[in-house]
Structure 1
Amino acid sequence: MHSNKTDMGVRRFGAVNWLGTYTLIRREILRFMNVWSQTIMGPLVNAGLFLLIFTIAIGPNRGDVMGVPFMQFLAPGILTMTVIQNAFANTSSSLASAKVGGNIVDTLMPPLSALELLIGYIGGAVARGMIVAAVIAIGAVWLIGMPIHHPVWALTFVLLGSVFMGGLGMIAGVFANKFDQLSAMTNFIITPLAFLSGTFYSIEALPPVLQTLSHWNPFFYIIDGVRFGTLGVSDSSPWLGLGVVSLCAAGVLGLVWYWLKIGYRLKA
């Protein structure tokens, strides 16, 4: 029988433990699907409330932004912001819960390599992000007539954004030893970066200094890319955004893979 040695012992599953990886992905998906009213319907309600509040506060006479009606302009930003937050929450809460509950060993002991663990966790984050994006997109198309000019671009940025944020969530989960620390990371890092990345406005309205700072925020490129995919307009080139988000995702995933390989802050 073919055996393949790894840092986690002798493996009898060939080069890739497909069953183990699938099982981990399935577990991560079931985690959020078991509470779908919070993880799926909750984001849809929040997105609808954002649109409703802006409609009431600003009124129907608000001029177009970048040549499209203001409510349609808002929809891709709110969709992407929600995807970002949910993909981050899926991996960060999973790792943090396992560490706080003392059952992280249940994930580390099975014959799964660092890459397979990474794929399993990121698979759950991508699934949650894509489901949330689909639900909100259907609602936006139906209720406010949001167009989808370039579906492949929109899908690409939602997918990359979910991967990137899933990786960041794993970093947060590795560092957090209690839920208070995880909440602090979400409230003081993730949420501000998401809100200040062009979710509710075009960065062309900002002063030059703030425009420059926005271009250093990877969240801006995710939101701008989804806006290009849906509305056909954007503040920057989608190709530039694709390159930036891809590099950021690769860097984050590489770091997480290395931490999983050495058991950084995971193994006692």
Structure 2
Amino acid sequence: MTDLASTRPSGLPTPRRYDGINWIGVQTLYLREVRRFWKVGAQTVAAPVVTTLLYMLVFVVALKGSRPPLHGTPFAEFVAPGLIMMAILNNAFANSSSSLIQAKIMGTATDFLTPPLSPLELTIGFSLGAATRGIAVGLVTAICVMPFAKLGVTNVALIVYFALVASLLMGMVGVFAGLWAEKFDQLAAVQNFVVMPMTFLSGAFYLVENLPEPFATISHFNPFFYLIDGFRSGFIGQAEGSVWIGMAASAVLTVVMACACWLVFRSGWRLKS
């Protein structure tokens, strides 16, 4: 609920006050983020799907019959969930990070700093916008890989949980990257030297247990491993690591990142200074 604008003694209207969360403002920011990426859907949705299909062609079609099953799961069915999760992670990160750095470079950050939006509301708006893009690309990717892999569903709850948590988590990581970067080269460096290596070294295309030590142990400290492993277990019914540890760790990381995003928006870091 909002209070109607009252009148100061000088005749100037007082700013509107919002009790609780300004849901109208959050909805407007969210729709802005969704429409921003949907307007260029060929670049933001179709292009990642084509990239995933190329991976499927290389890893599944070109190597058909030469890769043995992994823990009894055909290689195509093992790889497909990992590719879907990779699409979710990368696109959720790209949405919030590109939105913020574009706003900083083009001088349009006032579009969301001037309205009565609190740090919490900014965090919600940008995170949900990024999560929407990640989930949308993930859904389209899943549909497109079905001709190459017979995806079964053993636990819908795990699939939904890890998809939502992964998209929200990477959306918040993208907020940090977008605020930190002062030019597109710096943002590309984060994508190429941090996000991409962690994604490829998370067991998306192989069993982590087959890695030599200490790399097998180190991989279990990679949060992307638990996101992909938990998401995949919802399809094939088995996980390489502990699903419960993955759920708990991802939930804690998401809460920590939400608090951190709230703090940076509150301080105005790289936005107001």
CA contact (8 A) 2:179 2:270 kept: yes
CA contact (8 A) 1:21 1:117 kept: yes
Q: Name the aligned partner's letter for residue 180 of structure 2.
A: F
* Greater CA drift, 147-156 or 52-61: 52-61
Identity of aligned residues (%): 41
2:100 is aligned with 1:95: yes
Query: Runs in 1 of length 4+ with deviation above 3 angstroms?
Result: 1-4
Measured after TM superposition, the shift of residue 56 of structure 1 is: 4.5
* Alignment map for 1:242-261 (pairs within 5 Å): 242-261=247-266
- Which one of the candidate residues 21, 46, 53 is aligned to 1:48? 53
SS of the equivalent of 2:159 reads helix
Q: Name the aligned partner's letter for residue 197 of structure 1.
A: S
CA contact (8 A) 1:21 1:119 kept: yes
SS of the equivalent of 1:78 reads helix
Measured after TM superposition, the shift of residue 179 of structure 1 is: 0.5
SS of the equivalent of 2:19 reads coil
Report what 1:119 is aligned to.
124
SS of the equivalent of 1:53 reads helix
Report what 1:107 is aligned to.
112
Report what 2:234 is aligned to.
229
Report what 1:144 is aligned to.
149
Per-residue deviation, residues 210-256 of structure 1 (Å, max 9, x unmatched): 11111111111111111111111211121110011111111111111
Q: Name the aligned partner's letter for residue 175 of structure 2.
A: M
CA contact (8 A) 2:60 2:75 kept: no
Give me the TM-score of the superposition, normalised by structure 2: 0.92
- Structure 1 unaligned residues grouped into runs of 5+: none
Report what 1:37 is aligned to.
42
CA contact (8 A) 1:43 1:82 kept: yes
In 2, the alpha carbon distance for the partners of 1:47 and 1:264 equals 35
- Which one of the candidate residues 56, 60, 69 is aligned to 1:64? 69
Report what 1:194 is aligned to.
199
Give me the TM-score of the superposition, normalised by structure 1: 0.94
2:188 is aligned with 1:183: yes
In 2, the alpha carbon distance for the partners of 1:137 and 1:148 equals 12
In 1, the alpha carbon distance for the partners of 2:178 and 2:16 equals 27
In 1, the alpha carbon distance for the partners of 2:61 and 2:27 equals 46
CA contact (8 A) 2:93 2:170 kept: yes
In 2, the alpha carbon distance for the partners of 1:162 and 1:76 equals 15
In 1, the alpha carbon distance for the partners of 2:177 and 2:78 equals 31
What is the total number of aligned residue pairs between the two structures? 264
2:215 is aligned with 1:210: yes
* Greater CA drift, 235-244 or 89-98: 235-244
CA contact (8 A) 1:3 1:14 kept: no
Report what 2:11 is aligned to.
none
Report what 1:78 is aligned to.
83
Measured after TM superposition, the shift of residue 55 of structure 1 is: 2.6
In 2, the alpha carbon distance for the partners of 1:197 and 1:167 equals 20
- Structure 2 unaligned residues grouped into runs of 5+: 6-13
Per-residue deviation, residues 105-148 of structure 1 (Å, max 9, x unmatched): 22111000000000000011111111111111222334421112
* Greater CA drift, 115-124 or 229-238: 229-238
In 2, the alpha carbon distance for the partners of 1:61 and 1:201 equals 14
In 2, the alpha carbon distance for the partners of 1:11 and 1:215 equals 49
In 1, the alpha carbon distance for the partners of 2:222 and 2:271 equals 29
Bigger Rg over Cα: 2
2:14 is aligned with 1:24: no
SS of the equivalent of 1:16 reads coil
